[in-house]
């Protein structure tokens, strides 16, 4: 576990997104004990908090905060990658829809 910005998270994992020949390297931290004041997934770029995501009732991710003003297309790609990284929870509903 890691302590980031006074929140306890599991180990961060890297995600790389390529849009219009620009490469974005992010780290994603999952905060399993999130609450109304804290989003479940926080995204960092170069060590700086830039965005966060929250699952809805069907476990689809939605942008919770975007302090880094990340491009909407990049945010959607990030959400897809995060959902793919958690096949036991979030991605289960997506698999059901594709069947």
Cα separation, 16 vs 63, in Å, equals 18
Helix, strand, or coil here: 10? Answer: coil
pLDDT digits (tens, 9 = 90+) for 60-91: 899 999 999 999 999 999 999 998 876 555 44
For residue 1, is pLDDT > 60? no
Quickly tell me which residue has 């302590």 as its tokens: 3
Least Cα distance to 74 among 63, 86, 60 occurs for 63
Which of 68 and 55 is assigned the larger pLDDT? 68
Q: Do 9 and 42 meet the contact criterion of CB atoms below 8 Å apart?
A: yes
Q: Do 51 and 67 meet the contact criterion of CB atoms below 8 Å apart?
A: yes
């Amino acid at each position: 576990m890691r302590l980031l910005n006074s929140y306890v998270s599991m180990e961060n994992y890297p995600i790389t997104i390529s849009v219009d020949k620009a490469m974005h390297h992010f780290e994603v931290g999952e905060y399993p004990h999130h609450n109304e004041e804290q989003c479940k997934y926080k995204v960092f770029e170069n060590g700086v908090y830039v965005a966060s995501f929250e699952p809805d009732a069907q476990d689809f991710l939605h942008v919770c905060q975007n302090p880094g003003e990340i491009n909407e297309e990049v945010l959607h790609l990030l959400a897809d990658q995060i959902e793919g990284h958690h096949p036991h929870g979030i991605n289960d509903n997506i698999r059901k829809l594709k069947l």
